[in-house]
Chain A
């Protein structure tokens, strides 16, 4: 039986939603230009940037898969958080790639590629980024809805209206997405930043309070004992875990470095910053949050392992545990915190992929005649609305088959490997050119998709299992880097001098 009280907890959630919606809508009068809409007029300062980046990169889907990691691997499941922290700290501290990127004054990464590789590569990079990003985001709504239904006990409530009872999850998330889409469409990045700030406060309050409760009432000794009993030393040390090993740590280091450099929702904060120095401070200031992002829900997952009977579904274990562990009153704060986490992620992701569609994929349509600010804003808003509709159709009314983390990893890798290699080459290798860039994009998308096909076909299933996702991932990054070098060196120098490289 869930502890969610519709009178007390429902009121807390309702007040939070109302305040967020009002704040999100109030700032729309400041949107005068496309630059205001997509990068907040580049007026974002450090602390607002930290709040926005942290809120964007922590959604319910994040909480679910990091808790699942804790449930399945113990403390060792939080290792990706440590590699993410190291990557973000180093990139922020050195300014590697993000300094030249912000100094160039572009709105999106593919726009920078045009200066080095030409308009075709810009367009192709835009397509790959949007495909990877939208498919990745496609599962956010459904997973978020699952969490809320389990925590609020909605699956046990019957209204008597057949359609409502059958599609409770879908209807709830449709209403939530409509609210998020409304303020994102009207206020763009300005609305996103203001609501992210409110959502960061709400989300952090919930995460800290619940974690302290888990540590006090379940107890640290019980958590350690549970991991020791279920996983032994492998639950603490990824290097001795037979399912992880050094290849898991190395793959996560490569993956998280690529995320920090090219995941457009992270980079959007650097590009919206006042200058490159502010962008770097946002990265260094937020870096430690990425350990919290994995370890805090991971501890919730371990607590679920300690308190629930064996055989509970690993993805549903944490919300099932929370629904009976958190008392009335605090449950409202936790649900509001999770809604805050999800809304900030959804709004940022919708705006970010819309900015790539507007700025890069639609770029050929703007070449002949420059669009007015008014037309640019109208097109940008229309694209955000269309992404909202896509999310509803793909993410909510189309059930996902298979494992969540694999899905997120594969859809992300399709673009992360090639875009990170392109960005590093674009910033630091004079000889890099369009041939190398094209080869990197093809191999970057081809290898993960090829591995996925190998996994699905009965004849090649064993080969895929022998290679494993981590070796396959490491190979992808190495082959993409090699293809950039070989492709660039194969292009005749004379052709580079006469035209664009």
Chain B
């Protein structure tokens, strides 16, 4: 049957290799994602503040 110890051996090897690779990849690219996310949020907060100031000036 396909579900013998060789199947589980190959799956375990795949897990260790994939998990090690994705951890390194996510560590590098995830840090960039966080940087980008906060840059966009800061921009949005600045825009919201400007809109509020424009509204107050008009009033």
Interface residues of A (CB under 8 A from B): 27, 30, 32, 36, 40-41, 43-48, 50-51, 75-76, 78, 190, 193-194, 197, 200-201, 204-205, 207-208, 211-212, 215, 220, 224, 227-228, 233, 236-240, 285, 288-289, 291-292, 295-296, 299
Contact = CB atoms under 8 A, between A and B. Distances in A.
B16 A211 contact: yes
A220 B1 CA distance: 20
B50 interface: no
Contact of A194 (B18, B34, B44): B34
A129 B25 CA distance: 34
Given A41-B41, A236-B5, A48 B19 contact: no
Given A211-B16, A295-B12, A47 B26 contact: yes
Contacts of B4: 236-237
Contacts of B44: 41
A170 B58 CA distance: 57
B23 A205 contact: yes
A236 B22 contact: no
30 contacts: A27-B38, A30-B38, A30-B42, A30-B45, A41-B40, A41-B41, A43-B37, A43-B41, A44-B37, A47-B29, A48-B34, A48-B37, A50-B22, A51-B30, A76-B3, A190-B41, A193-B34, A197-B26, A197-B30, A197-B34, A201-B27, A207-B19, A208-B19, A215-B12, A220-B9, A224-B8, A236-B8, A288-B15, A289-B22, A295-B8
B29 A201 contact: no
A288 B26 contact: no
B48 to A, nearest CB: 7
Given A41-B40, A204-B23, A291-B15, 11 more contacts: A30-B41, A43-B37, A50-B30, A76-B3, A212-B16, A220-B12, A240-B1, A291-B11, A292-B15, A292-B19, A295-B11
Nearest to B20: A208
A240 B2 CA distance: 12
Contact of A45 (B19, B20, B33): B33
Contacts of A288: 14-15, 18, 22
Contacts of B45: 30, 32
Interface of B: 1, 3-5, 7-9, 11-12, 14-16, 18-20, 22-23, 25-27, 29-34, 36-38, 40-42, 44-45, 48
A16 B51 CA distance: 41
A365 to B, nearest CB: 26
Contacts of A215: 12, 16
Contacts of A289: 19, 22
A341 to B, nearest CB: 14
A179 to B, nearest CB: 21
The 10 closest A-B CB pairs, nearest first, are A47-B29, A48-B33, A237-B3, A45-B33, A204-B23, A47-B30, A75-B8, A43-B37, A292-B15, A224-B5
B3 A236 contact: yes
Name the prevailing secondary structure of the B interface residues.
helix
A51 B37 CA distance: 15
Contacts of A224: 5, 8-9
Nearest to B38: A30
Given A36-B41, A200-B26, A208-B23, A296 B5 contact: no
B24 to A, nearest CB: 9
Contact of B33 (A32, A41, A47, A208): A47
A292 B37 CA distance: 28
A56 to B, nearest CB: 14
Contacts of A45: 33, 36-37
Contacts of A205: 23
A58 to B, nearest CB: 11
Nearest to B29: A47
A236 B10 CA distance: 13
| Most chain B CB inside 10 Å of its own CB: which residue of A48, A190, A211 | A48
Contacts of A200: 23, 26, 30
A236 B7 contact: yes
B54 to A, nearest CB: 17
Contacts of B34: 48, 193-194, 197
A51 B26 contact: yes
A292 B18 CA distance: 9
Contacts of B25: 47
Contact of B3 (A44, A194, A239): A239
| Most chain B CB inside 10 Å of its own CB: which residue of A32, A45, A78, A238 | A45
Contact of A43 (B20, B23, B26, B40): B40
A32 B46 CA distance: 11
Contacts of B8: 75, 78, 224, 236, 295
Contacts of B30: 47-48, 50-51, 197, 200
A45 B33 CA distance: 6
A306 to B, nearest CB: 14
Contacts of B15: 288, 291-292, 295-296
A426 to B, nearest CB: 30
Contacts of B18: 288, 292
B42 to A, nearest CB: 7
